[in-house]
Amino acid sequence: MPVEPNVYELNAPDVVSETFDGQAVILNLATGHYYSLGGIAGPLWNLLIGRHTTDAILASVAAQQPHLVQQASALVAQLLSFGLIQESQQPSSQAAIDVSWTNAPPTIEAFEDLAELIAADPVHDVDLEAGWPVLRPQP
């Protein structure tokens, strides 16, 4: 199946995320770095990992908050550079984007203070199907 342009998904299994009250928290288990997304970055993240095209997401932002489109586009590039999202092999979502974009610009905060502790924890290397104590095959 060909990869659709501008369609992304969570870079699993190395990346996990959770959204709390519109703010996304993302953990890269491979690096031990974690991230906090604020402003419109939380809803944008959820749409990205839900496989909406970046074009559709940015068009939605442009319709409500045109002054934030460039910052939203830059955030997508940052998420890619941090290895948090990857091109999706699945088709894009055709669901309508129903988000009330706030006037709060997208923010991303990166934290490295727990990197050594997270990297030392073998649980993130567990085979997803077999579970503990079977480790994932290493490349």
pLDDT at 1 (0 to 100):
43
The rounded distance, in Å, linking the Cα atoms of 14 and 31 is: 9
DSSP state at residue 90: S
H or E element at residue 62: helix 54-64
Q: Which residue has the tokens 């709390």?
A: 20
pLDDT digits (tens, 9 = 90+) for 78-118: 999 999 999 998 989 989 999 999 999 999 999 887 656 55
Which of residues 67 and 22 earns the better pLDDT score? 67
Strands 85-87 and 8-10: antiparallel
Cα torsion 32, 33, 39, 40 to 10°: value is -70
